[in-house]
Amino acid sequence: MLEIRDLSVGILQTNTYVVFDRDSGEGIIVDPGDEAERIIDLVKRCGVRVRGIYLTHAHFDHLLAVRDLRSDLGCGFYLHRGDELILKLAQKYAREFIGRIIPPPPDPDGWIEDGQIIRIGESSCKIIHIPGHTPGSVCYLLEEERVVLTGDTLFAGSIGRADLPGGDLRQLRSSILDKLLKLPDDYAIYPGHGPSSTIGVERRMNPFVRSFVDSGRLP
Ligand SMILES: [Zn+2]
Ligand SMILES: [Zn+2]
The CA 192 to ligand 1 mean position distance, Å, reads 8
**Averaged pLDDT, 11-25:** 96
Give the number of the ligand closest to the Cα of residue 86: 1
Mean of the per-residue pLDDT values of the chain: 96
| pLDDT on residue 215 | 84
The CA 52 to ligand 2 mean position distance, Å, reads 20
The CA 97 to ligand 2 mean position distance, Å, reads 12
Instruction: Output the pTM of the full model.
Output: 0.96
Give the number of the ligand closest to the Cα of residue 135: 1
CATH classification of the domain holding 81? 3.60.15.10
Give the number of the ligand closest to the Cα of residue 133: 1
% of the chain beyond a pLDDT of 70: 98
For residue 219, pLDDT over 80 is answered with no
Confidence band, pLDDT 50/70/90 cuts, at residue 218: low
User: Which residue range(s) make up the domain with 137?
Assistant: 2-217
Confidence band, pLDDT 50/70/90 cuts, at residue 91: very high
As residues whose CB is below 5 A from the ion ligand 2, the structure lists 61, 152, 192
| pLDDT on residue 16 | 98
Give the number of the ligand closest to the Cα of residue 161: 1
The CA 14 to ligand 2 mean position distance, Å, reads 6
**Averaged pLDDT, 122-127:** 96
CB count within 10 Å of CB 51 equals 18
pLDDT tens for each residue of 131-146:
999 999 999 999 999 9
For residue 5, pLDDT over 60 is answered with yes
The CA 193 to ligand 2 mean position distance, Å, reads 6
Number of folded domains in the chain?
A: 1
Cβ atoms of 19 and 142 closer than 8 Å: yes
**Averaged pLDDT, 167-171:** 96
The CA 24 to ligand 1 mean position distance, Å, reads 32
